[in-house]
């Protein structure tokens, strides 16, 4: 973390914003990348320099949505079987089928909520493309989720004190909270869907 903070602090403002774009883009392509950490620290550095919360948020959104739509296009082009065969570690058959079924039944709501789930949000764009969700609808739903999350990260960074460790702890805490809320919403939606199906059966 110290090395990342030192590197970001050494960058002039244009390159700092560029680093945020690249980190947010790469998150969709290489999920293990600690993009939230880089973005939080980048926002932290920008807040103590000449950066603005709107500038940091905009740079992050450009990278994140750009990467998400590239992966959406990949899923749309090659389809679900290709994804599960080509990237079995990212798209395990059982989990992928459950998410795909949720997309079928809940549409954009499932796309938005799934983008908040840790370990799931990176697979949402290609799955949305593979499931045939329209590009504009996918763009809007993913922008809503990413905009809300990274807006929160930017606000925390610009309100943080001088300690970056405190900021990262706050981001991690918010991430757990948001993830738990998203899981609760998914469980509630599944229960409602199951209940409606049971009522329709004779």
d(CA 121, CA 110): 11
| Backbone Cα Rg of the chain | 18
The tens digit of pLDDT for each residue in 97-107 reads 777 777 777 77
The structural domains of the chain, with segments of one domain joined by +, span 2-200
What is the model's pTM? 0.82
pLDDT (tens digit per residue) in 171-184: 888 878 877 776 67
Residues 6+ apart with CB under 8 A from 29: 67, 70, 71
């Amino acid at each position: 973390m110290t090395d990342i903070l030192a590197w970001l602090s050494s960058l002039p403002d244009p390159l700092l914003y560029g680093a945020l774009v690249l980190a947010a883009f790469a998150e969709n392509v290489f999920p293990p990348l600690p993009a939230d950490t880089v973005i939080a620290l980048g926002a932290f550095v920008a807040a103590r320099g000449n950066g603005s919360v709107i500038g940091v948020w905009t740079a992050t959104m450009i990278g994140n949505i750009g990467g998400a739509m590239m992966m959406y296009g990949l899923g749309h082009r090659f389809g679900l079987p290709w994804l599960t065969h080509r990237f079995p570690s990212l798209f395990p058959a059982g989990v992928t089928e459950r998410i795909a079924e949720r997309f079928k039944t809940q549409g954009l709501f499932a796309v938005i909520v799934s983008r908040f789930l840790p370990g799931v949000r990176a697979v949402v764009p290609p799955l949305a493309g593979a499931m045939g969700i329209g590009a504009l609808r996918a763009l809007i739903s993913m922008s809503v989720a990413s905009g809300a999350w990274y807006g929160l990260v930017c606000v925390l960074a610009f309100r943080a004190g001088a300690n970056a460790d405190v900021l990262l702890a706050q981001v991690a805490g918010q991430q757990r909270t948001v993830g738990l809320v998203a899981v609760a919403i998914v469980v509630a939606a599944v229960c409602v869907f199951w209940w409606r199906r049971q009522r329709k059966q004779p």
